[in-house]
Amino acid sequence: MKLMRYHNHQPQHSLSGLGYSPLFDLANRLSRFPFDFGEFVDQAQSDAQLFEDDEHFYARFELPGIKRDDLHVDLNGNQLELSVSRESDSKEDESQSSFSFERSISVPEGIDPEGVSAKLEDGILTVTMPKLEERKPRTIKVS
């Protein structure tokens, strides 16, 4: 019985005999560096850091290179939804690249949706979510 070597049939492998190298693809991507750098960023980089104090819950995301105009933050029920979409036209080499990213996290119950705010500063997005005041029983004086 003759054993045959397994070949993963991907285009870059089938072109390797023609002088193609995956390094050429990397060089091509790096030549467009600031525009599609997001493809190389691990999604773990955008994982939220969640923390709280007595009056607020906070969600913090690291978003280096993202501009305020490219960022959308929505609160739907107990889901905080973050989306980034950017298109760039480079007039130097007439190339166009785009980048999009979406992330959704569950937020704790008991936040005031009207008081939620978001601030992007130095590549750090901080979403501040005020806690609702607990409904405490009170004594009502009868007159």
Segments forming the whole domain that contains residue 63: 42-130
For position 37, what pLDDT does the model report?
47
Q: Which residue has the higher pLDDT, 22 or 119?
A: 119
Domain of 75, CATH number, reads 2.60.40.790
Check: CB of residue 97 under 8 Å from CB of residue 40.
no
Q: In what order do the strands lie in the sheet with 71-76?
A: 71-76, 79-90, 95-106
* 139 within some domain: no
For the chain, how long is the longest CA-to-CA vector? 100
* 7 within some domain: no
Give the integer Cα–Cα distance in Å for 71 and 110: 25
* 15 within some domain: no
* 31 within some domain: no
For position 61, what pLDDT does the model report?
92
For the cut 70, the answer to whether the pLDDT of residue 93 exceeds it is no
Domain count, the chain: 1
Give the integer Cα–Cα distance in Å for 5 and 24: 26
Q: Which of the four pLDDT bands, split at 50, 70 and 90, describes residue 40?
A: very low
pLDDT in tens, 16-28: 455 555 555 665 5
Judged by DSSP in three states, 69 sits in helix
pLDDT in tens, 42-85: 443 457 899 988 889 999 999 888 889 999 999 998 899 999 88
